[in-house]
Amino acid sequence: MSAQTLPVTPLHCGPALPVIELAQTDRLRALHAQMRDKRACQSTFTFYADQVIRLLLEQAYALLPFSDYQVTTPLGVPYQGKRLATGLCAVSVMRAGESMEFELQRINRDIPIGKILVQRHQQSKQPHLYYSKLPGNIADGYVMLFEPMLATGGSALCALDVLLEEGVRADRILLLNLLSSPAGLARIAQQQPAVQIITSSIEQGLTEHAYMLPGIGDFGDRYFGTWQAEAV
């Protein structure tokens, strides 16, 4: 699968940010249409979202370093393959980021997965870190940070701060999201230009309530089915 590296040049801020937007193929747009449709039930939504997540993960793996690895086939013939040449873990920004863990575990059965809980503080209204649990040795390798909706970028920046304080190199962080807003990308570009973002769609913009347009609605609620619980 080919992808496009877009130098997103944000308004009012410094360096361009390397953003990989998945190639907008008919196949990807078909997955998006199913997922974005407001009539999609939970199982339809997760079925198609998982496929987009798989594409994001494959793109992320394509950026990782691999080294030579030889095996012998049952015919006694050597096969020159590759294997990951670096430590790798994932960190989910709760709750929506946890949706990306299922496909990851289908690719890599033993990958450590950390959690970060960021929510808007009641008084300050700013993103606030409530909880984090990170894998040991996280600073030694690459980290895939799962934040499916990059809207204002506030939660992602808070989560990035946690990783950087833990000693992770910014240029070894891959921030994966299904949708991203130009404003969110611009904030990351300004504050963490070395972080690599991989997205399946750069959206048109944000509503006054920070929902993306054309958007998908509340991703966490749709993926985990909690909007149905509220509606009854």
Q: Which is nearer to ligand URA, 85 or 210 (CB)?
A: 210
Q: What is the distance, to the nearest Å, from the Cα of residue 162 to the centroid of all Cα atoms in its chain?
A: 16
Closest contact distance (angstroms) between CB of 83 and ligand URA is 36
Closest contact distance (angstroms) between CB of 132 and ligand URA is 20
Closest contact distance (angstroms) between CB of 96 and ligand URA is 6
Q: Which is nearer to ligand URA, 135 or 215 (CB)?
A: 215
Closest contact distance (angstroms) between CB of 117 and ligand URA is 15
Give me the residues that bind ligand URA (CB under 6 A), please.
149, 151, 210-212, 215, 218-220
Q: Which is nearer to ligand URA, 49 or 88 (CB)?
A: 49
Closest contact distance (angstroms) between CB of 216 and ligand URA is 6
Give 65's contacts (C-beta < 8 A, 6+ positions apart): 84, 85, 86
Angle at 150 between CA 149 and CA 154, to 5 degrees: 120
Dist. CA 120–CA 129, nearest whole Å: 9
Kindly list the distances between the CA atom of residue 97 and the CA atoms of 21, 27, 110, in Å, as whole numbers in the listed order.
Answer: 18, 23, 18
Paired with 20 in beta bridges are: 5, 198
Helices (H), 77-206: 101-107, 154-165, 182-191
Q: Which is nearer to ligand URA, 194 or 210 (CB)?
A: 210
Q: Which is nearer to ligand URA, 177 or 196 (CB)?
A: 177
Burial track 189-211 (b if 16+ CB lie within 10 A, e otherwise):
bbebeebbbbbbbbbeebeeeeb
